Amino acid sequence: MNKIRETWGSKIGVILAVAGSAIGLGNFLRFPVQAAKNGGGAFIIPYLISLVLLGIPLMWIEWTLGRFGGGFGHGTAPGMFHNIANKNRFIKYFGVIGIFGPIVIFTYYTYIESWLLGYSFYSLTGKLGLCQDQVSMVSFLKGYQGLEKNQFFSSIIPAYIFFIITFFINIITISGGIQKGIERVCKYGLPVLFILGIILMIRVLTLSPIYPQHPDWTPVNGLGFLWNPDFSALLSAKVWLAAAGQIFFTLSVGIGVILTYASYLKKTDDVILSGLTAAATNEWAEVVLGGSIAITSAFLFFGPQGIKDVASGGAFNLGFVAIPLTLNHISYGFLFGFFWFILLFIAGVTSSISLAQPAIAFLEDEFDFDRKKAVGVFTILTFVLCNLSVFLLGKGFVDEMDFWGGTFALVLFGTIEAILFSWVFGIDKAWDEMHAGSDIKLPVFYRFVIKYITPCFLILILIFWFIQEAKDVILMKNVPSEIFSYIVFCRFILFLLLSVIAWMVHIAWKKKEKV
């Protein structure tokens, strides 16, 4: 007997949920770093081209595949791939990546998300305000992470408490289901996020130069750094690859989340306009809010060259060091610091709850688990894996998880989706399915893009990676000897997780064949 699957409560609800999945730490931390490292304004040009030729087509593919698969009672990639490939016995195993990736990302993303809750608290109480230079701010972060003992923190216990709170905020939310959990949080969370973002943007854009000796380090010049292109940087393949990677990351495509969210749509629900609206909401949050707040505030404190140096140190340095340091030097900095970190925390929650849903939907749809049981299994599994990220952060564990689960798996899964959608399902059928119930009709140009350009773009990215980097990565040639054994352990955990999911897919379909 087939269970009645949940549905979204409203059209705006699903749009905000998908936008909430996309609007995360990547919008406010990763995008400014990528822009600063890759030529400022020059980065925006390949970024927008990648959005048009890669990001938006993939988003439409995932919305369409998700709604199609949901009509057959499948909320995850194995079942969806099985149906679009005319029930080919092997294709469904490619869908394992669409469950594997979100679980892996959830296990470290939730811990990083918890830092934001902790920093919100320490901003409001004034402890973070004690840091008045880059050295002390870096020391604060390392002490909080448990990487060193210093005047700010003597153990990892405070960070672990905030992690526990954050983890169970996520679990309680997803326990409420699609409408009462995910949709409700996104409906209230995103408006608050945008209000805080606009307040911060206005405050940053109205700041005066911090240093009298650098009167040209102004908000206007900070915006110029972001928007004035150095066209010579466009000749670098690195800039183009970075832009394509950011589009993947920011729109949450290639993960499997949109597939699951779209599976709860009705057959007549529009996917083209809804997908475009969700993408536009995300881009506004990333380029307008994220870019203006992060780049401009860091520019005021570090200047044009300094911001590049800070960005080269990683996303953590920009979001957890440069920006709060700038805010500490203005009136009511503690309050604006709180706004900054609580904004990021809300963005993190709306993303992490989406990462949980594919695994839960898989257990519900393919094993007939009820919501409570599915959430329980997910909680036990991810709590164990999250603790590895907490206590092995300094051993390269999170970076390794991020590469395989949050980078490589994204591109690989996106490539598989694009090929299956256009060439196995067939572009004619796919085009008709995409337009079913649609309020608008896409230009024929996008038919060509979806069939040829998007899959070729993705295949080229994979080919260049295998040619340039695969050997060194696989053989761990650049892994320091002191963390080598931890990286081996991490890969074993990832392989075990992938194998278990594949085995569960096999068991689920064996069970179906007997019915």
Give the pLDDT mean for 460-467.
85
d(Cα 499, Cα 515) in Å, to the nearest integer? 25
pLDDT over 60 at 1, yes or no:
no
Give the pLDDT mean for 381-404.
93
Extract the tokens encoding 150: 């210093």
pLDDT band at 2; cut points 50, 70, 90: low
pLDDT band at 3; cut points 50, 70, 90: low
User: Which sign does the torsion angle of CA 70, 75, 76, 79 carry?
Assistant: negative
| pLDDT at residue number 374 | 97
Sequence-separated (6 or more) residues with CB below 8 Å from residue 159: 114, 115, 118, 144, 145, 146, 153, 390
Percent of the chain with pLDDT over 90: 58
Q: Name residue 264's amino acid.
A: Y
Average pLDDT, the chain: 89
What's the helix, strand, coil split of the chain in %, to 5? 80, 0, 20
pLDDT over 60 at 431, yes or no:
yes
The yes or no reply on domain 11-514 and CATH 1.20.1740 is yes
More confident residue, 226 or 282: 282
Question: Would you state the torsion angle of the CA atoms of residues 469, 475, 477, 483, taken in this order, to the nearest 10 degrees?
Answer: 120
Give residue-wise pLDDT tens across range 176-230.
999 999 999 999 999 999 999 999 999 988 888 777 788 888 888 888 877 777 7
| pLDDT at residue number 413 | 93
| pLDDT at residue number 6 | 86
More confident residue, 225 or 77: 77
- Say whether 2 sits in a helix, a strand or coil: coil
CB neighbours of residue 297 within 10 Å? 31
d(Cα 306, Cα 161) in Å, to the nearest integer? 34
Give residue-wise pLDDT tens across range 90-146.
999 999 999 999 999 999 999 999 999 999 999 999 999 999 888 899 899 999 999
Evaluate whether 302 touches 36 at the Cβ level (below 8 Å).
Answer: no
Domain edges within the chain: 11-514
Degrees to nearest 5, angle at CA 101 with 289 and 407:
60
pLDDT band at 302; cut points 50, 70, 90: confident
Give residue-wise pLDDT tens across range 23-65.
988 888 888 888 877 766 778 888 888 899 889 999 999 999 9
pLDDT over 90 at 164, yes or no:
yes
- Say whether 284 sits in a helix, a strand or coil: helix
pLDDT band at 314; cut points 50, 70, 90: low
Sequence-separated (6 or more) residues with CB below 8 Å from residue 218: 208, 209, 300
| pLDDT at residue number 311 | 73
pLDDT over 80 at 255, yes or no:
yes
CB neighbours of residue 86 within 10 Å? 9
- Whose tokens are 């969700």? That residue is 278
DSSP state of 475: T
| pLDDT at residue number 319 | 83
Q: Is 151 exposed, middle or buried (0-12, 13-18, 19+ CB in 10 A)?
A: exposed
Which candidate, 217, 229, 221, places its Cα nearest to that of 39? 229
* Confidence (pTM): 0.92
Give the pLDDT mean for 144-166.
95
Give residue-wise pLDDT tens across range 333-344.
899 999 999 999
Q: Which parts of 370-483 fold into alpha helices (H)?
A: 371-391, 397-403, 409-419, 427-435, 445-448, 454-468, 470-474
